[in-house]
Structure 1
């Protein structure tokens, strides 16, 4: 069973304006299976690298800044540690913050994984995410003018857009 009380991270940025809307607290998760050519964070790929922090300590650090709009989960691949990130997301939302999650998977791939019924943490993290930025980084599609993204194949998907995508595939998603 995955540990829901601790996260393996490559870094924490306490104040960012480039990783989602408003002033963000950013957790860079450690571990990534995608291996995107030209990745901005290649040091995050090794699943055994980085450092471990407990959820309580992360939340205490988040609480130090009342100006934060919310938390951003970046990586690495956040969905590798969905359970512990759910614990952070639930508590940030309870404090009035929002959740942005970056992933190298597409929303459709994540949704299909949740439909198998054996990955409830992925389903829950999708539910808790206000803005999903999906898709692998594609170096040939790099565009420095894009808001919050590195390549033009990556999408900014809010809850309404995700519901529409799921409905188009005949799926029931909140």
Structure 2
């Protein structure tokens, strides 16, 4: 499995979800939405490989900041490589217990229909879904750029409740 690649980290941001968040920006996006605010993130080979040392540094930084309300994954598209992302999300959630937001150009319905993306949802608390649509651009919307994008509380859907 090819490692995930990270373009950047913002240890404290209020622009990527509710509260003070630790944001991780991943390389690679297949959507290539016209008007994308981060086109340099499209290259899946950009940035730095997420190795064990970088993972440990991320976990230490998250644990070391008691003011954080959670972690946000953005990019690119964090769900471009769902096999590697599912493993990362599981480890991150188990290590930090952080509230996790994830921005993706895939819709919730597309994620549910894809077994590996569905597995990613198990570890995500809030999904901001859907491609950026320039014709639906709306700067008044909190935490998203176009009116088709939704902020979805994954826990409220009870997708993974024990039967």
138, 143, 148: which is aligned to 1:143? 138
Matches within 5 A, 1:6-21: 6-21=3-18
The equivalent of 1:60 in structure 2 is: 60
5+ unaligned residues in a row in structure 1: which ranges?
164-172
**Residue in structure 2 matched with residue 100 of structure 1 by the alignment:** 101
Matched, 1:124 2:125: no
SS at 1:40 equivalent: coil
1:92 deviates by 4.4
1:75 corresponding residue in structure 2: 75
How far apart are 1:137 and its partner, in Å?
Answer: 0.2
Q: Deviations over 1:105-140 (max 9, x none)?
A: 1111111112xxxx3xx2221011111000000111
TM-score (norm 2): 0.86
Q: Is the 8 A contact 1:104 1:137 kept in 2?
A: yes
Show the counterpart of 2:38. 41
CA distance in 2, matches of 1:51, 1:73: 15
Task: After TM superposition, give the deviation of residue 90 of structure 1 in Å.
Answer: 3.5
In 2, the alpha carbon distance for the partners of 1:37 and 1:133 equals 18
Deviations 1:20-53 (A, max 9, x none): 1111111110000001001011010011111223
Instruction: Work out the number of aligned pairs and report it.
Output: 156
**Secondary structure of the equivalent of 1:79?**
coil
With normalisation by structure 1, the TM-score equals 0.81
Whether contact under 8 Å (2:136, 2:147) holds in the other structure is yes
CA contact (8 A) 1:10 1:49 kept: yes
Secondary structure of the 1:78 match is coil
Unaligned runs of 5+ in 2: none
The 8 Å contact of residues 103 and 135 in structure 1, kept in 2 or not, is answered as: yes
| Bigger share in helix | 1
